[in-house]
Structures are given as C-alpha cells and as structure tokens.
Amino acid sequence: MRFLIDEDVDVRLLGVLRRLGHDAKRVPSGTQNGAVIRLAKETGRVLVTRDADFTDAVRYPPSRTAGIIHVDIHPPRLTPIASALKALLLAVPEDELAGKLFILDETGYSDFSSP
C-alpha cells in the first residue's frame, strides 16, 4: 500500500510502514494543506495526518482520495500510533480504505465516511 505521511506525524512511522512492506513517503516540510491533499491524490497515496483540518469532508472530501487516516492519539507517541495503524491495516482491506476517512484513537479506529 502507498502512504503519504504528513509532517505532523512521527517520522519513525515511515520505517514502521516500510518494514511492513508498504511504500511510505513524507510530506515535504512546510507544505500547505491544499498542496498536501493534491500530492496525496496525484500520487494515489493514503494520507496519514494529525491535522484535524483533514477531517472536514467538505474541504477535503475523502471520496476523492486513496483514503485519509487522521491520528487522534494523545500524546502522539509512536508505539500507540503504530499499533492502531497496524490494527486498521489488518482489519480493513486496501480497496476499502480508498475514498474513506478513518480516525485512529487509543481504542483503535473508526470509519467516519459517509455511506
């Protein structure tokens, strides 16, 4: 699977995803939200972000993306983030991530996409 990791997510998540066999890239530092979502769309990557702006389905419709995963884990430590993301990836097939918004929290994940 192809991921785009926003600059607000622990950079070590790249290594975690790569060790799991995924293609993970980092958003260039200082990239504005509009450019982040365009990059995710143009490259067909699932966006992983802590930026709550991306949960606004009107401004950033997940249906037009390969998927958006919002990390809502506080404090944002690597171990709980990696665990929640691994659980999501084990439970949800790649084709079911496309066009959807998932929220990761301390208890796991939720699908916040419109039916």
- pLDDT at residue number 112: 87
| Ranges of each domain in the chain | 2-111
CATH fold of 2-111, please?
Rossmann fold (3.40.50)
Tokens representing 77?
């430590």
Residue 115 pLDDT: 53
SS (H, E, C) the chain: CEEEECCCCCCHHHHHHHHCCCEEEECCCCCCHHHHHHHHHHHCCEEEECCHHHHCCCCCCHHHCCCEEEECCCCCCHHHHHHHHHHHHHHCCHHHHCCCEEEEECCEEEECCCC
Residues of the chain below pLDDT 50:
none
Q: What is the pLDDT of residue 113?
A: 74
